[in-house]
Amino acid sequence: MSIRVTCPGCHARFNVSDQFAGKSGPCPKCKMTIQIPDKAEEVVVHAPENFGPADSQGRSVLKPIFRQERSVSTVQIFGIGLFVVLGIAIAAVLRFSIPDPANFPLPILVVGAVLLAPPLSWVAYEFLHNRELEAFAGTDLWLRIFISSGVFAVLWVVFPVILYAVNADDYSLVYSSIAIVLMLVAGGAVAMLAFDYDYLLGCVHFGLYLLTTLLLRLLAGLEFIPMGPDSL
């Protein structure tokens, strides 16, 4: 077995037979006398030890945990696109079938806010969740989506109604805007708790729902920002 030697003078590297271990001799390149390392100085790299239970042959019986990678499939992208087109189409139909916003049925707005929340929440989570962590899936994911979606829909009612009740005689765009901001602040906290985001991502998650509902209101011929409980 050979020993790897480096000359301290010219820094040439070469192998010598282990029978010269511990002896000195001239460097074949610069002729400087060098000391051949002793066998006791040889560095031996050992295989890592196996910790935990092992079988009769000493092999570990523990299985590594593999994280399943998740990505948005083509079918899911198609479904998202179909959902967007359907929402725009419904908003357009409502715009032309109910030309006077004052006659717009409030139940349609409430039902719309409720039905939009789960799919938008799912889309937001699929794109925003941390790829380095195990993603929620199955029943656990949908339970989080439906609970948070219910809270999202409730937020559409709570803040505008409260601010309108306090300032009914002087309810203006300023108070409506404040209601929107409060909804975003509260919705971001709900999304953060439901999906283990940091707070900023929670606001982005809820912001997708909020912006989508506001844009669909505009397409349906309503005010972009609700100006009172009757225009939620």
Any domain includes 66:
no
pLDDT in tens, 6-54: 888 887 777 777 777 777 878 878 888 877 777 665 555 555 655 566 6
Any domain includes 64:
no
Q: The whole model's pTM is what? A: 0.62
Any domain includes 59:
no
Per-residue confidence band for 144, with pLDDT thresholds at 50, 70 and 90: very high
Place of tokens 């390392």: 37
Residue 37 shares a structural domain with residue 79: no
pLDDT confidence of residue 132 = 76
- Cβ neighbours around 207 below 10 Å, total: 16
Share of the chain above pLDDT 70, in %: 73
Residue 33 shares a structural domain with residue 78: no
Please compute the mean of the pLDDT values over residues 171-198 and round it to a whole number: 85
Contact 219, 95 (CB under 8 A): yes
Any domain includes 184:
yes
Residue 32 shares a structural domain with residue 78: no
Residue 12 shares a structural domain with residue 123: no
Residue 34 shares a structural domain with residue 83: no
Any domain includes 46:
no
DSSP calls for the chain: -EEEEE-TTT--EEEEEGGGTT-EEE-TTT--EEEPPPGGG---PPPPPPPS-B-TTS-B-PPPPPPPP----HHHHHHHHHHHHHHHHHHHHHHHH---GGG--HHHHHHHHHHHHHHHHHHHHHHHS-TTSPPP-HHHHHHHHHHHHHHHHHHHHHHHHHHHHHSGGG--HHHHHHHHHHHHHHHHHHHHHHHT--HHHHHHHHHHHHHHHHHHHHHTTS-SS--SGGG-
Question: In which domain, by residue range, is 20 found?
Answer: 2-41
Q: Is 85 or 196 the better-scoring residue by pLDDT? A: 196
Any domain includes 67:
no
Distances (CA, A) of 210 to 144, 161, 164, 195, 230: 18, 17, 19, 17, 18
Q: Which is nearest to 210 in space by CA: 190, 230, 180? A: 180
Any domain includes 205:
yes
Residue 78 shares a structural domain with residue 36: no
Any domain includes 50:
no
pLDDT in tens, 189-208: 999 999 999 999 999 999 99
Residue 29 shares a structural domain with residue 130: no
Give the total number of structural domains in the chain.
2
